[in-house]
Amino acid sequence: MALKLPRTIRLDPSDTFVYSRAAEPGEWAVTGTFLFFGADVARLSGKQRQAFRAGFLGIDSFGWSTLVVVTDATVHDRAAAVDRLAEQLVVRCGAPDTETARAAAEEEIEFAQSLCDHPPNTLIAVNRTSEQAGTRECFRTLHRKASRLEPATAFRFVEIDGEEESTEKFDLLALAGRQK
């Protein structure tokens, strides 16, 4: 079985204004849900709320990406991702020691890897909600539509696999802090 991991991808510049820190394209990524552990999600607003709702965490920048892409990886790539995430958990999240951080990073990378049971270049999106039982995550995959008649473009090729579409509406201008 081939090893695959998610990488951040940016199809347009929207991540740079909907998140306080956007991940750079091409970073290895994890869900980043652990950053919201213990947070009062109902009190989140603006860019923090958007990161909670729909962000994947780039492990180099600790920035957010709306989409990740399934990417072939090597054992070395995976080990480097675990090492880098463990380092970030110590520096940015206050993990008590490297051993504890490494165990947590290993779990996060393992879960991220489990999301990549799709062909390479499959896009994945997340939708998080807060419920009484905790945080619920729904992952959707986006695939190129099989059509030989139309050339593929970023705005005409998407089929979504996953749960029912969210009823939440997003106002990108408000998230960017701009007035309509």
Q: For the segment 130-140, what is each residue's pLDDT rounded down to a tens digit?
A: 988 889 999 99
Among 2-11, 44-53, 147-156, the range scoring the smallest mean pLDDT is: 147-156
- State residue 67's pLDDT score: 97
Q: Which residues of the chain form beta strands (DSSP E)?
A: 4-9, 29-30, 56-58, 64-65, 67-72, 123-131, 134-144, 158-161
* Residue 102 lies inside a defined structural domain of this protein: yes
* Structural domain range at position 171: 4-175
**Which pLDDT score, from 0 to 100, does residue 66 have?**
98
Average pLDDT over residues 95-117: 97
The answer to whether residue 140 is domain-embedded is yes
Answer for the pair 24, 16: CB distance below 8 angstroms, yes or no. Answer: no
- Residue 55 inside a domain? The answer is yes
- Please give the tally of structural domains in the chain: 1
